[in-house]
Amino acid sequence: MYLRRSFAASPLFARVAPFVIFLILTAAQGQFGESSRYWFYLAKTLVGAWLVWEMRRWVPEMRWALSWEAVAVGAGVFVLWVGLDPFYPKPGALLAKVGLGQWAGADATPWNPLAQFGGHSALAWLMIGTRLAGSSLVVPPLEEVFFRSFLYRYLARPDFLSVPLGKFFVWPFIATALVFGLEHQQWLAGILCGAAYQGLVIRKNRLGDAMTAHAITNFLLALWVVGRGQWQFW
């Protein structure tokens, strides 16, 4: 298989390509009608899970790890994500003020399968379950490998595999947190979140704790979204 051979031949490809493929599928959500937002999420979750499975042999640092620090950071980031939300403007709102809201999805309805497919629909709950599983089990390894294993170390030194995961570099730390934050509508919380996950990697000198913290954050956020109807976080 071409992808497997490419993973074996290039450590950079093994850490970057899965994330890029995932981003492309994310960008396709909603491009083929409102329901495509949900079907593409289902598709990208399945593809993402397959990519994680395929890359596991070639990305040895992608191993889950549990520690009290991971639990504390994961729960703390969730509280930060929800608690800060009312207190800073989002990109969509800022662009909407100058008539460019469509470029940031300011006019898009929240990602809400209950509204799209009906509150008693099995399909709606399939999509909710997919989102919960995807954000908790697929997104963390893909994003942590790209941001913490590849980008942070690559910004420190192009020969990124020679850079220890636990080594602190000021500008790569700041840049990686900024890029990670600006990937999200909740950009301020995202920047702080990226810094927290990166700090965890540096403290533990391994990637698995950040993967676990990321999974805990996203799992708690999913419970909050569904339980409280706070669909804007999805």
pLDDT (mean) for 179-183:
96
Single-letter code of the amino acid located at 212: T
With b for 16 or more beta-carbon neighbours within 10 A and e for fewer, the 83-97 pattern comes to: eebeeeebbbeebbe
Using the structure block, give the residue that is written with the tokens 């994330």.
19
pLDDT in tens, 109-166: 889 999 999 988 999 999 999 999 999 999 999 999 999 999 999 999 999 999 999 9
This prediction's pTM: 0.93
pLDDT in tens, 154-178: 999 999 999 999 999 999 999 999 9
